[in-house]
Amino acid sequence: MNKTQSADIISPAYQSTGADRVTQRAYEIWIIKGRPEGTDLDNWLQAEREIHSEEQLAKPSSPSTITTLKGNLNIVKGKLKQKYAKLTDKDLTYIEGKEDELIGRIQKKTGATREEIEQFFC
């Protein structure tokens, strides 16, 4: 069964909030992996991480982060590259008005939370 088919298993009427979202995602992970026994905890933890990352990406930047970003971008880029060596100049390209996109790229490449990244801008 592929990922597309596994998503069809969950009823559209199923409301996913809080623990329900984690339960639903853990179930999807289990289906995708081929329904192996004894993976409940691993699937649950993976589902929590994925949902947390999605929620962090959806959060808008705070105004103080945006102001700091505009003023100290070169310093912030240097600090980020020191901590996360895999970041490239392309990952750190800033376009005015697209702060959330920049933070999202950094999150995706590093796995860091939004809060961890925003600390570099303070």
Q: Among residues 49, 50, 56, which one has the least CA distance to residue 104? A: 56
DSSP state of 121: T
Most confident of the following: 2-11, 64-73, 79-88 = 79-88
Candidates 118, 122, 19; CA nearest to 59 is 118
Q: Is the pTM of this model over 0.85?
A: no
In a 13 Å sphere around the CA of 1, the CA atoms on its Cβ side amount to 15
For the stretch 10-66, pLDDT in tens is 444 444 456 788 899 899 989 999 999 999 999 999 888 888 777 766 666 555 555
Place of tokens 């933890």: 45
